Structure 1
Amino acid sequence: MKDKTIDYVLRTTWLAVTKMYNEEAAKFESTMATGFALLSIDPEKGTPSTSLGPKMGMEATSLSRTLKMMEERGLIIRKPNPEDGRGVLIFLTDFGKEKRAYSREKVLTFNDTIKNSISKEKLDNFYEVAEVINNMISNKNIYTQKEHSLK
């Protein structure tokens, strides 16, 4: 693995995780995106549709398609937001809550399996490195640093 770039390892690992979740979801005629949406919606209070995209890291158009499909399948319902007349709250139906529990179980199984296979120290290092990468990206410290050093 020493010759591989960091972004290559991140990308191929995420693609493998996505494939694994999609294969599991396909057994129940679903997708990873649907499972992720189910887990991102507050099962009691609902969730404003505008906060779902950022929460899931999805673009509005992809999220709209996912929510439309979820509504057609009877997983969610949309209701006007009583606190914001222009907004919409997304609520899980009973069927959606059932599928959410299934998605949650799959995510916890994945996490538990990884945690049982890797030492706490290595896992802590992984989280620390991921946090540093995320902070550097969100603070725009990747390419701006290089640009500054070129001047």
Structure 2
Amino acid sequence: MDKNKSIDHQLRATWQAVAKMYNEQAAKHDSTMATAFALLNIDYENGTPSTALGPLMGMEPTSLSRLLKTMEDKGAICREKNPNDGRSVIIKLTDYGKEMREVSKGHVYQFNNKIREFLTEGELDTFFKVTQTINQLINDKLIYEENEDINKQAV
């Protein structure tokens, strides 16, 4: 199959370009895309339980722990005991973290607004329908059936 007509290739290549772009912007603020994404996923006022942050971001616990340690060392977050569960902590934004969150939010808005300048609402609706369908098929495990003969499929 021609890679330019392969859905997964287009998704991967596009995401790599977006990630590179965001990392270049984050580097200007001595940060990373992962840090910016974490800042955007932490509740601005009340913080977020550390146990909820991983699933929100799609990160493994080990990677999340390293990221949170770096963010804490840079003064973007602090950890507080969870009043509802003594075994976990709430990750809260510091004043610096809130400031950096606004910077991150600005970059996300700028990206979205620029893309919207070049696409119609119908094209965006189609894009969102396609990505939702792909995610649903994956979540429902409908891409690869058990005992499927892979040789019968065009790859």
Common fold: TM-score over 0.5? yes
Instruction: State the alpha-carbon separation in 2 of the partners of residues 87 and 131 from structure 1.
Output: 33
What secondary structure does 2:88 align onto? strand
Q: What residue in structure 2 maps to residue 39 of structure 1?
A: 40
2:4/2:10 contact within 8 Å kept:
no
- Aligned 1:68-87 pairs, distance under 5 A: 68-87=69-88
- Aligned 1:1-16 pairs, distance under 5 A: 3-16=4-17
Q: What residue in structure 1 maps to residue 62 of structure 2?
A: 61
Q: What residue in structure 2 maps to residue 51 of structure 1?
A: 52
Q: What residue in structure 2 maps to residue 26 of structure 1?
A: 27
- Deviations, residues 31-59 of structure 1 (Å, cap 9, x unaligned): 00000000000010100001111101111
Q: Would the alpha carbon gap of residues 3 and 18 (structure 1) be closer, same or farther in structure 2, given more than 3 Å must change?
A: closer
Shift of 1:146: 7.6
Instruction: State the alpha-carbon separation in 1 of the partners of residues 84 and 135 from structure 2.
Output: 33
Q: What residue in structure 2 maps to residue 147 of structure 1?
A: 148
Instruction: State the alpha-carbon separation in 1 of the partners of residues 82 and 62 from structure 2.
Output: 21
Q: What residue in structure 2 maps to residue 124 of structure 1?
A: 125
CA RMSD between the two structures:
1.8
Q: Would the alpha carbon gap of residues 46 and 147 (structure 1) be closer, same or farther in structure 2, given more than 3 Å must change?
A: same
Which 5+ residue runs of structure 1 have no aligned equivalent?
Answer: none
What secondary structure does 1:143 align onto? coil
Shift of 1:60: 1.1
Matched, 1:99 2:95: no
Q: Percent identity?
A: 56
Shift of 1:147: 2.3
Q: Would the alpha carbon gap of residues 124 and 2 (structure 1) be closer, same or farther in structure 2, given more than 3 Å must change?
A: farther
Instruction: State the alpha-carbon separation in 2 of the partners of residues 148 and 22 from structure 1.
Output: 40
Structure 1 stretches (4+) deviating beyond 6 angstroms? none
Instruction: State the alpha-carbon separation in 2 of the partners of residues 71 and 3 from structure 1.
Output: 42
Which 5+ residue runs of structure 2 have no aligned equivalent?
Answer: none
